[in-house]
Chains A and B, each alone.
Chain A
């Protein structure tokens, strides 16, 4: 693969949605207002046990699902913006065109994930400093974040590939397979939850930790399996884009 052209394709894909995000002033306005409300609320009630910023990490459950949207959007915008004619006639293989989109989506997701984890960490640090619970709590939270990062790292490539595959299948002769894909996804979607239920003791204290007694070995197998599945879904997207696209 010519790294030079791939780098240009990647840069083009990466910048497309970043540019849009920068241009959306309402997005930044919402983010600033939510952060200000959180800082004030944590300043006032942050010391109470029921108002712990650690619970905000549950938002991270939505993150892999958000990546379905990112992957889907990376493909679908070629049609919604009427640029697919330029994109599909570039003198590069479908594999390379789709890989640039996949890689750009993953990097965008990783950056957003790191920002989200960073903001949460700052909020926990802020609460600890204001309400005097000590830095031990912050260290505990870093451990929690690392567990969530692991689950996110396992799920994000799969979810991104799923979003891309869904977008390309929708534009192909295989459109009828899409409901089946969502049914299979819905059934397998809670796999981490099942592992955790299996490994978690029946009576446990309330915690936001995903794995209370260390990361069970099954999780590493699932992680590898999810990445393999992501590769498989990506290969399906390339094949359909090559052979069965309707334009």
Chain B
């Protein structure tokens, strides 16, 4: 039996009257690149925030490699938050130093390789960067960590096509070198479908469908087709 990297049992979370997660259950296998899919407000970001211990469930349990999420488990997780910005006073060099000093598993040489590959320079100031450049810097900080779990919440949101292509290339490069478990939440399915081994489709806080991408394709068509069937 495949061991779970992340396991959720009857997760519930409300924000006032809005239900973010409703009896959500899932088992995400170790070593897979998993797509976290669904329309806006389906509960994807809440689930990812629960994995990092930022949000606590009202009910139910979630475990990351068998442990309850907390600041301690974050030593094993590289997390790219959604709608995040990088620290405005930093240069790229200072961002790398920040990662090296504060993030366990951060590999400085790997960070510089990624920064070079993503077309950024050491002395570039974050304050003067485009959204795409800033997104590439944040992704480089995450991918430079040699940790068992990588959680990327909408890494392509609001980013131009060229930056997206560079990011996808960096992801493919990174995944081929390491045996990490990776979760990516995205709406850019066409550009990223080839990355995924496993997919979880969220609908109104529930697990509408999940499984091995090859098996899903054999049964129901491409990931894009399944997305249309579920939410169209």
Contact = CB atoms under 8 A, between A and B. Distances in A.
B74 A91 contact: yes
A82 B85 contact: yes
Contact of B81 (A19, A89, A91, A92): A89
Contacts of B49: 247
A241 to B, nearest CB: 11
Contacts of A15: 89
Nearest to A7: B101
Interface residues of A, number: 24
A83 interface: yes
B209 to A, nearest CB: 28
A243 B55 CA distance: 9
Given A5-B102, A9-B102, A85 B71 contact: no
A31 B75 CA distance: 44
B167 interface: no
B102 A16 contact: no
B interface, by DSSP: helix, strand, loop or mixed?
A: loop
B219 interface: no
Interface string A128-145: 000000000000000000
Interface in A51-106: 81-86, 88-94
**SS class, residues of chain A in contact with chain B:** helix
B15 A90 contact: no
Interface in A9-33: 9, 12, 15-16, 19-20
A86 B87 CA distance: 9
Given A12-B98, A246-B15, A247-B49, A92 B83 contact: no
A8 B100 CA distance: 10
A91 B54 CA distance: 11
Contacts of B214: none
Contacts, number: 61
A85 B87 CA distance: 11
A89 B77 contact: yes
B88 A81 contact: yes
Contact of A81 (B56, B81, B87, B102): B87
Kindly name the residue among A15, A90, A94, A243 whose own CB sees the greatest number of chain B CB atoms within 10 A.
A90
B185 interface: no
A16 B15 CA distance: 32
Contact of A85 (B53, B81, B101): B81
Given A81-B85, A81-B88, A89 B102 contact: no
A91 B101 CA distance: 12
Contact of A89 (B52, B56, B101): B52
A90 B87 CA distance: 14
A86 B81 contact: yes
20 contacts: A5-B102, A12-B87, A12-B98, A82-B83, A82-B85, A83-B85, A85-B54, A86-B81, A86-B86, A89-B53, A89-B54, A89-B74, A89-B77, A89-B81, A90-B71, A90-B102, A91-B103, A93-B71, A94-B71, A243-B56
10 closest A-B pairs (Cβ-Cβ)? A85-B81, A19-B89, A91-B75, A91-B74, A82-B85, A8-B101, A89-B52, A85-B84, A89-B79, A88-B54
